[in-house]
């Protein structure tokens, strides 16, 4: 095994172990203490962690071990399991990320504009239906891999191959998958993230303008009294909704995840399109590398955003 291969395998192993730890941590810290404490946000985080763990344990871990052993040791039949698990978890993870972005956009708008009023995605039944629908879409695109993914019998082959009946069917399947399971969620995540950023900027501008008005030198005694009254009312409004700062912090973490997602998945999308027209082991390896890096970093960003990046279970 050459030095370059050792470096590549070590990085993949780091991503794999870090991803397993982070997603297990995210799922565990999102578990409610009782049934009455179940929240839509926790359900979304648990679903995201479960989706990513499928990739970490059933895709990244066997692939990493195969690189260190310099041979594919799982057998021909596991190629179907690997491709199935990869697209199943990837699709579910993408849709869950979109739902999290939509949820926190609604919560942020509800907090700032409507004083923390309940939002549409506070409805647990709606969230469960959305997640169930995303799993159905994921299964629809993943099940066919059991019938088209195979190993060519060469135990040193670096990647599993898929053989469609005709090239036209492969292009049609890839195009449909990319549009419904990648482009559509990508547009949704981008839209929700832009709206979150705009809402945060407007809120910051109002705070800045209010601060300037408060610190401006008074010209008349009545104006000074009016300013004091306005400041008192504003302070009372802020104290009436103490969770606003936590929601803003969580929304910022969602924007950070969305930024990572957009960068990773745009590159991922380009590589998928390229590999659909031309077989390239390098493109497949880069696609897997980008997916592994995304599932590695995202859980820690979310844990930081909701103040659960610690070992306290209270």
Which among 297, 288, 289 is positioned nearest to 82, based on CA atoms? 288
pLDDT reading at 129 higher than 90: yes
Query: Residue 149: which of 159, 157, 140 has the closest Cα?
Result: 159
Say how far apart CA 258 and CA 105 lie, in whole Å: 12
pLDDT at 276: 64
Query: Is the pLDDT at 227 greater than 50, yes or no?
Result: no
Q: What is the mean pLDDT of residues 180-200?
A: 86
Residue 80 lies in a domain: yes
For position 225, what pLDDT does the model report?
47
Task: Give CA–CA dist 93/257, Å, rounded.
Answer: 12
What's the rounded Cα separation, in Å, for the pair 82 and 160? 8
Our count of domains for the chain comes to 1
Dist CA 314 CA 308 (whole Å): 10
Amino acid 154: pLDDT: 47
Identify the pLDDT of residue 177.
Answer: 85
Task: Assign 34 to helix, strand or coil.
Answer: coil
**What is the C-alpha to C-alpha distance for residues 284 and 290, in angstroms, rounded to an integer?**
10
CATH of the domain at 49: 1.20.1070.10
- In the chain, count of helices (H) and strands (E)? 11, 2
**123 located within any domain:** yes
Higher pLDDT, residue 173 or 126: 126
Task: Supply the pTM of this predicted model.
Answer: 0.80
Q: What is the pLDDT of residue 28?
A: 93
Asked if residues 274 and 283 have their Cβ atoms less than 8 Å apart, the reply is yes
Q: Has residue 139 been placed in a domain?
A: yes
Beta bridge mates, 162 = 149
pLDDT: which is higher, 28 or 150: 28
pLDDT at 50 over 70: yes
pLDDT value of residue 51? 94
Per-residue pLDDT reduced to its tens digit, 58-95: 888 888 887 777 666 666 667 778 888 888 998 999 99
Is pLDDT above 80 for 127?
A: yes
- How confident is residue 305, by pLDDT bands cut at 50, 70 and 90? confident
Residue 33 covered by a domain? yes
Task: Label residue 216 by pLDDT band (50, 70, 90).
Answer: low
On whether residue 275 sits in a domain, the answer given is yes
DSSP state of 122: G
- Asked if the structure places residue 312 within a domain, the reply is no
Model confidence over 201-214: pLDDT tens digits?
887 777 677 667 66
Average of pLDDT values for 183-197?
A: 88
Instruction: Give the whole-number percent of the chain exceeding pLDDT 70.
Output: 72
pLDDT value of position 36: 77
- What Rg, from alpha-carbon coordinates, does the chain have? 24
Decide if pLDDT at 34 tops 90: no
Note down the domain range covering 86: 3-305
Half-sphere exposure of 26 (CA within 13 A, CB side): 31
- On whether the CB atoms of residues 299 and 52 are closer than 8 A, the answer is yes
- Classify each residue of 225-259 as buried b or exposed e, where b means 16 or more C-beta atoms within 10 Å of its C-beta: eeeeeeeeeeeeeeeeeeebeebbebbbbbbbbbe
Which of residues 274 and 10 earns the better pLDDT score? 10
Q: Is residue 313 part of a domain?
A: no
| 275-287 pLDDT, tens digit each | 666 666 676 677 7
Average pLDDT over residues 186-204: 85
Residue 114 has pLDDT above 70, yes or no: no
At residue 5 the predicted structure's pLDDT band, cuts being 50, 70 and 90, is: confident
Helix (H, G, I), strand (E, B) or coil at 62: helix
Q: What's the average model confidence in pLDDT over 261-284? A: 72
Please, which pLDDT band fits residue 149 given cuts at 50, 70 and 90? low
Instruction: Note the pLDDT of residue 49.
Output: 95
């Amino acid at each position: 095994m050459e030095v370059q291969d050792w470096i590549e395998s070590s990085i993949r192993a780091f991503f794999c172990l870090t991803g397993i730890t982070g997603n297990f941590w995210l799922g565990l810290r999102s578990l409610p203490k009782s049934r009455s404490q179940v929240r839509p946000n926790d359900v979304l985080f648990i679903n995201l962690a479960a989706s990513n763990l499928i990739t970490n344990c059933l895709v990244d871990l066997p692939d990493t071990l195969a690189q260190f052993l310099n041979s594919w040791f799982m057998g021909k039949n596991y190629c179907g399991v690997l491709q199935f698990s990869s697209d199943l978890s990837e699709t579910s993870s993408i849709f869950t990320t979109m739902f999290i972005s939509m949820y926190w956009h609604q919560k942020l708008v509800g907090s700032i504009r409507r004083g923390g009023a309940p939002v549409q995605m506070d409805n647990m039944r709606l969230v469960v239906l959305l997640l169930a629908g995303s799993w159905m879409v994921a299964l629809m695109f993943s099940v066919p891999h059991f019938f088209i993914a195979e190993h060519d019998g060469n135990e040193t082959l670096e990647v599993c191959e898929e053989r469609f009946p005709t090239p036209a069917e492969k292009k049609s399947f890839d195009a449909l998958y990319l549009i419904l399971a990648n482009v559509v969620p990508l547009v949704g995540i981008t839209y929700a993230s832009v709206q979150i950023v705009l809402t945060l900027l407007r809120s910051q501008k109002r705070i800045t303008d209010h601060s300037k008005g408060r610190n401006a030198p008074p010209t008349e005694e009545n104006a000074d009294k009016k300013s004091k009254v306005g400041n008192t009312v504003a302070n009372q409004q802020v104290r009436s909704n103490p969770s606003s700062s936590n929601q803003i912090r969580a929304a910022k973490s969602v924007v950070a995840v969305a930024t990572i997602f957009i960068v990773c998945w745009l590159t991922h999308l380009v590589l998928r399109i390229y590999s659909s027209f031309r077989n390239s082991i390098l493109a497949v390896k880069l696609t897997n590398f980008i997916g592994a890096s995304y599932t590695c970093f995202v859980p820690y960003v979310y844990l930081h955003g909701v103040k659960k990046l610690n070992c306290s279970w209270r």
